[in-house]
Amino acid sequence: MLHGLKRFFRDTRGNVIMIIGLALPVVFLAIGGAVDFSRVMQLKKELQDAADVASVGSVAVNSYAYKANTKGHSSFKTGENQALAIFNSNVKKHNDLNNIKVKAKIKKQSTNLVSEIGVTADYRPYLLGLMGMNTMPITIKSTSSSTFPPYIDFYLLLDNSPSMGVGATTKDIDTMVANTSDKCAFACHQMDKAGNDYYALAKKLKVTTRIDVVRQATQNLMTTAKNTQTLTDQYRMAIYHFGMAADQIDSKNPAPYEVSALTTNLSTSASNAAKIDLMTIPYQNYNSDRQTNFPSYLLGMNKVIPSSGDGSSSSKPQQVLFFVSDGANDGYDCAYSNGASCRRISPLDTPQCKAMKARGVKIAVLYTTYLPLPTNAFYNSHLAKYVSPTSQLAAKMQECATEGLYFEVGPNEGISEAMNALFAKVISTVRISS
C-alpha cells in the first residue's frame, strides 16, 4: 500500500496536461489582449487623425473662428461648432466603438488662436470580452494654434541732417566733387548765399542725394504696408525727422520733428512723406554744425512711443521704431568735445535704444553706409577713424537694433528695397515672438 502511493507521487506523466490546462487561459488572454490592443491602437489613430484635422481646420485662415477674430469678436461658438462638424465628417462608424463624445474649445491667447479638441470613446473588445472585460476606454486630445497678424504701430525716425545730402551713389558723389571748388561731396542746404547752396546745385546737376532716396523709399513703404495688412487698420504709421531748419530747432537738445502724425490712413502718410527734405542751415558752420544729436532725438522718441503691447488687438499694438541714418553723431555734448567746444562727433550711443527695448519697443535699424570721402577735410579730420578699417558707425547702429532687425544698405543699392525688406523682417519677427 505504502509502496503504491510512492509510485503515484513519483509519476509525472499527467503533469503536462495539467500544466497545459492551467496555461491555456493565460495564453488565450495574451493572444486576446494583443488582438484587442492592436484594434484599440487602430481606432485611436483614426480618432486622433480626425481630431487633428478638426483642431487645425477650425483655426485655419478661412475658418469661422479666424474670421470672427479679425472682426474683433471674442466668442468663437460658431468656430467650435465647425470643429465638431469637421471631426464628425472624418470619423467612420464601427460596431466596436461606442459612446463617442467630442468637446471643442477655441480661445484667444495673445496673437494666437488656439483650438483644443477632446475625445472620449469606449471600445468593445472581442477576445478579452470573453474573459469578462466589457469595455476599454479611449481618450484623445488635439491642440492646434494659428498666429493671426498682429497690430503694429510704426514710428519712423529719419535722419535728414546735412550729412544725408551726400550723393546716393558713387557716381553722384563724383559729380558733386567735380563741380564744387572745394571738392565737397555734401549737398549742404545752405541758405545765406545761393552760390553756396550745394543742395540747389545738386538738383541742377540732377544728382540724387541720400535724402531724395529716403523720401521716395518712405513713400513706397507706406504703399507696401497698406498692401500687406490683412486686418482693418492693422498698421499705423508716424513719421519724424531731425527738423526742417537748423536755426528753428533747439541747438543743445533738439526734439524729433513730426512730419506725419500716427494714423491708420497710410495714403495720408505717403502724401506727408513727400515733404521730407534735407535740413536747411542758415550759414556755414552754424551752431558748429551740431545738427545730428542722436541722444537727444532718441530720448524724444522714447517719450513719444508708448510701451509695447502684444499686438493682439488695435488697443494693444506692438510698438516699433524704424530708424534710418548713416550713424554719424554730431551734437552738443560738453562732456565729450572733439570737434569744437561742447561738440561731439562720434558713433551712436545706445542707452536710449536699450531703454526703449526694455519697454518692449522693437527697433528696426536701416544703416545707410557712411561712405569714405577722402577729398573732404571734415571727414578726414573727424570721421575717417570711425569708418575705416572697421566701421564703428555700423557696429553701434547694429547694437541699437533689436536682434534680427538690422539692415545695411550701401552705395548703388536700393534703399527702398532695403526698407521694404526690413519691414518684412519686422512683421515676421513679431509673429514669431508672439
Q: Does the structure show a pLDDT above 70 at 274?
A: yes
Give me the residue spans of the domains in the chain: 14-147, 152-433
Least confident of 11-20, 254-263, 379-388: 11-20
Preceding omega of 389 cis (within 30 degrees of 0): yes
Mean predicted confidence (pLDDT) in 115-119: 94
Amino acid, single-letter form, for residue 230: T
pLDDT confidence band for 434 (50 / 70 / 90)? very low
pTM of the predicted protein model: 0.71
pLDDT confidence band for 431 (50 / 70 / 90)? very low
Q: Which of 99-113, 123-137, 159-173, 344-358 is most confident? A: 344-358
The string over 342-364, giving b where at least 16 C-beta atoms fall within 10 Å of a residue's C-beta and e elsewhere, is: ebbbbbbbbebbeebbeeebbbb
- pLDDT value at residue 75: 85
Q: Does the structure show a pLDDT above 90 at 69?
A: no
pLDDT confidence band for 339 (50 / 70 / 90)? low
pLDDT confidence band for 38 (50 / 70 / 90)? confident
Mean predicted confidence (pLDDT) in 277-304: 90
User: Domain 152-433 class?
Assistant: alpha beta
Higher model confidence: residue 193 or residue 66?
Answer: 66
Q: Does the structure show a pLDDT above 80 at 41?
A: yes
Q: What three-state secondary structure class fits 98?
A: strand
Q: Does the structure show a pLDDT above 60 at 1?
A: no
> Cα(183)–Cα(135) distance, rounded to whole angstroms?
93
Measured between its terminal Cα atoms, the distance across the chain in Å is 92
> How do residues 134-177 score in pLDDT, each as one tens digit?
888 999 999 988 877 789 999 999 999 887 887 777 788 788 87
Cell 562727433 sits at which residue? 345
What Rg value do the Cα atoms of the chain yield, rounded?
A: 36
Give the burial class of 400: count Cβ atoms within 10 A of its Cβ; 0-12 exposed, 13-18 middle, 19 or more buried: buried
Q: Does the structure show a pLDDT above 90 at 430?
A: no
